[in-house]
Amino acid sequence: MTDLREASLIEDLRAVTRETHDRLDTAIMAAAVFDTIAGYGRFAGVQYLFHRDVNALYDAPALAALLPDLAERRRLGLIAADLGDLGLDPPEADARPAFEAGAAFDLPAALGWLYVAEGSNLGAAVLRREAAKLGLSDDHGARHLAPPPEGPAVRWRAFIAAADAIVLNAEERARAAMGAQAAFARVQALVDARLA
């Protein structure tokens, strides 16, 4: 029997970004950022710049109405504290943030960017173990990799459920997919510029 159920938004985003996501993961691991504190510092700088791009979304009322506990999911401050632990200043931005506080934004595209930001929490468990080998912890240098109290899987499932409950038409779904692709492209560009 054929399954006639439509793919969920998150399934769509996962499918359209699979190759880009795999390429990014490979580039990060090839950069050996967890071999030294200096390498990890460069990685944290990439994280900082990407989360700077999406930081304003965590305060956006339109998104907060759709995604529970959105404000508590923000990680920019944690990354800045991690950089401080390493004696590093936040890196100089190469451009304005992708989303700016108070500025109008396309909601479907923003959902695509948040999909990338929130999805990175799942991979953080592996990265956290690597950071621990460098002597970093949830309280020093690797705060932004620490799992939420309920665990990363529970938080991710809550995000999926909320995102999949948002009704988007086909054109809006396409804009969400373009947002996710743009977010992955942004991280890839940061990795290429700062980790290669």
pLDDT at residue 91 in the model: 97
* pLDDT tens, position by position, 171-181: 999 999 999 99
pLDDT at residue 125 in the model: 85
Sign of the Cα pseudo-torsion (111, 123, 70, 55, in order): negative
Report CA 126 to chain centroid distance, whole Å: 15
Cβ neighbours, 10 Å, residue 119: 20
Q: Measured at the alpha carbon of residue 129, what is the angle toward residues 29 and 45, in degrees to the nearest 5?
A: 55
* Mean of pLDDT values over 73-90: 98
* Mean of pLDDT values over 20-46: 96
pTM for the predicted model, two decimal places: 0.94
Environment class of residue 22 by beta-carbon count within 10 Å: exposed (0-12), middle (13-18) or buried (19+)?
A: exposed
Query: Which residues on adjacent β-strands are paired with residue 2?
Result: none
> For residue 129, what are the contacts with CB-CB under 8 A and spacing of at least 6?
none
Name the band, by pLDDT with cuts 50, 70 and 90, for residue 123.
confident
d(CA 122, CA 146): 11
Task: Tell me phi and psi for residue 87, to 5 degrees.
Answer: 75, 25
Kindly tell me if the per-residue pLDDT of 85 is higher than 60.
yes
d(CA 196, CA 30): 9
* pLDDT tens, position by position, 35-81: 999 999 999 999 999 999 999 999 999 999 999 899 999 999 999 99
pLDDT at residue 2 in the model: 33
Task: Tell me phi and psi for residue 141, to 5 degrees.
Answer: 85, -20
Mean pLDDT of the chain: 94
* Mean of pLDDT values over 117-140: 94
pLDDT at residue 5 in the model: 42
Percent of the chain whose pLDDT exceeds 70: 97
Q: 3-state class of 6 per DSSP? A: coil
Report CA 182 to chain centroid distance, whole Å: 12
pLDDT at residue 3 in the model: 37
pLDDT at residue 6 in the model: 67
